[in-house]
Chain A
Amino acid sequence: MISRRSLLKNAIKGVAALSIPLAAIEAVNPRTLFGGKDDKAKVRWVFLVDTYKCVGCGLCVKACKNENEIPYDANVTRTWVERYVITKDGKRHADTPKGARDGFTTSKIDLGMGHFEEIKAAEIAKAFFVPKLCNQCENPPCVQVCPVGATYQTSTGIVLVDRKWCIGCGYCIMGCPYGVRFFHPVYHVAEKCNFCYHRISKGLKTACVGACPFGARQIGNIKDPNDPVTKIIMTQRVSVLKPEYGTTPQVYYLGGDEFII
């Protein structure tokens, strides 16, 4: 027969046991456990794209592929430029032939499979170019889904892929809402833009920023209030891509538009 006293005792014990978080069971040094919580990083890389300045020359894509050793003729790229042509009937026509590696040299929209659509100049309501690259999200879904810890976020906010550790499962490629990840055709591991991590950690600009003749691309440190990019993000109207996903992307766009996907 269970007594009132023992019932209460066991109930208290049970509640106490349930309230221990799972993390507490793993015996680790508290510094590593709480390491992620104090935010002492002095650098947080962000990107600013001015879609008004982009003319769709694709020199950024060319430079990126050369700099980051992405096979030039393979149809994969870390950064690309999209063309949006909005016609007066409210329709969106978008393409990015070869990721705009060779720029946009014809007014025909590439529909894929060798089909093209000609749009008359008189029908165009607005048309513009949108450079895309990894958003280095504050909450990167690609990192969460990695089963082996091969992709991770550094203290400066850059998401990197460990080529030795990646097993090539492709979860991260499926998980990225922006479609910036792909398989590297040579190494057969997940590949992505990392804001030219090797360049920015040496104080250089990324290859795409350096190659852009029009100043459409800029990289900056949002933790530095005197950084020109920080000033623009803080004082002007900027937008990010797909904010509804809750990923907190860190590539900001001047001249965003509801038609951009």
Chain B
Amino acid sequence: MTRPTIPLGLVFSRSGPYAMMGREMEKSALLALDEVNQSEAFDFTFTPHLRDPRGLVAAYHTACDDLIREHGVDHIVGCYTSASRKQVIPIVERTERLLWHPARYEGFESSDNVIYVGAAPNHTVVPLVRHMLENIASDVFCAGSNYVWTWETNRVLREIVTSAGGRILAERLLELGETAVDHIVREIIERKPPAVFNTLVGESSYVFMRALHAASKRAGLAIPVLSCSLCEPELKLIGSAAAAGCITSSAYFESIDADENRAFVARWTSRHGTGSHVSVDGQSTYVCVMLLARAIRRAGSADVAAVRRAAASHRYDSPQGPVWVDPDNNHCFLTPRLARSVPGCRFRIFWEADAPVRPDPYLSNLDLASIGMKLDQRGDALAKRPTHLRVVK
């Protein structure tokens, strides 16, 4: 018996400036697609339509236009950067299609025609900054790539840190792809900040981590580095020693200790080899395809409106744990986690939320006062509250 097939658009940049992530995400999408196609649990198959926009923003629009008009595609899994997603949104909105977006992003968006499977800012930056304030320092040095993710992440960081009485010691930005990091590393070694917040991406980040590691070692310093984006394949690219010790916030780490994840990682390595690591964005791409397949099964059709209704609040026990779409904003309930990178290109998870956390793309529920209050209760030297706010008896 042949099952009906549903065309599925997969739009990932296998070449260009973020080709590494694009390839990881496409590999994960195809893994999920093969599993769906081989599973009797689904009464349909997916036919993949692969497109490589080569990291060119305008090419995302062209690729999706072609998929929708020429190949009858209703559902597209893809995009990595916010600039690419913004190119695709007008066309999926105009033609009433769905974009399943795997990557974490900076928030402040909620399209009816996008299912946001990646983490919202309340899943990533907020827990990381809270951890920093409670356990490391209230003053921080920021190094980042000059684009929307850094701008917005640093703004949230600044808002939380300053409301808790801390300071942003510096904000140094590099153009995307820039690898001249020495002046920033020199400044960090000279000023010895209690923490460094790294929102550099791609090659800039890898070169920075290596240079900071080497310089810290020479100077006999151990400055904690924090990140909301580092993932396992990147640890390998940076180098095991230089990548170790970075405190990272993410909804997925390869080391999550759960049956679903162990089985997923085993399937991944049997397909791509033991030297290959799953990344947060790769796993999230897998979750996109699985959420879509389950929603189509529940809806009994690939019709966009029916699939959107079927996906809403439907729980899927994914490798990263239970995930479901919040119909209020089309973002996902995810479990935030914090981990420290360790030698061997792995992360050791040291904190995770008790349950999946409601997505808050506009950070409208961010309670700055409660973060400051927690620090007050600790009453230690980390919490530098302004003196004029102290109770005087």
- Do A and B pair up? The answer is no
Residues of A within 8 A of B (CB): none
Residues of B within 8 A of A (CB): none
